[in-house]
């Protein structure tokens, strides 16, 4: 139960843009439920992006891909949603032209099987305004 309280506090800090505090809690949380573990992995990637720790994020992306590929307990639907999130997040982290980002944004908007879609769309919009 204590982990669920920490889990809620992490989200509170994420939405309050207290990324360092959220990240510190995330590192120390232990959840036995497999879905929570994947949610924490996704949240960690979001926090790394927000903190502009792109090299660490790229490492996490590669690690997550392998972990998802090997996980025999995760449903295929969840694997698709996780992998789609990772795919679109990776585009944000790499050097792309405005044209490539716009194409990826259009694909993202059409995609139905994806986690954290609204967050990704928001990050794409911000990236397109900056670049």
Q: Between residues 46 and 3, which one has the greater pLDDT? A: 46
Q: Nearest Cα to 44, choosing from 61, 62, 32?
A: 61
Give the global pTM.
0.82
- Say how far apart CA 89 and CA 66 lie, in whole Å: 16
Give 49-83 pLDDT, tens digit per residue.
999 999 999 999 999 999 999 988 889 999 999 99
Is residue 19 in a domain? no
How many independent structural domains does the chain possess?
1
Is residue 96 in a domain? yes
Q: Between residues 38 and 69, which one has the greater pLDDT? A: 69
Distance from CA of residue 87 to its chain's centroid? 10
Sign of CA dihedral 90, 67, 28, 15: positive
Is residue 67 in a domain? yes
Give 109-120 pLDDT, tens digit per residue.
999 999 999 999
Q: For residue 35, is pLDDT > 90? A: no
């Amino acid at each position: 139960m204590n982990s669920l309280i920490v889990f809620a506090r992490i989200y509170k800090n994420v939405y309050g843009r207290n990324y360092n505090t959220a990240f510190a809690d995330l590192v120390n949380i232990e959840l036995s439920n497999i879905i929570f573990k994947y949610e924490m992995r996704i949240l960690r990637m979001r926090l790394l992006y927000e903190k502009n720790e792109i090299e660490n994020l790229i490492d996490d992306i590669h690690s997550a891909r392998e972990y998802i590929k090997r996980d025999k307990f995760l449903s295929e639907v969840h694997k698709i949603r996780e992998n789609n999130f990772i795919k679109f997040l990776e585009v944000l982290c790499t050097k792309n032209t405005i044209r490539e980002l716009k194409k990826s944004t259009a694909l993202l908007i059409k995609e139905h099987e994806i986690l954290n879609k609204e967050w990704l769309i928001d990050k794409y919009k911000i990236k397109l305004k900056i670049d």
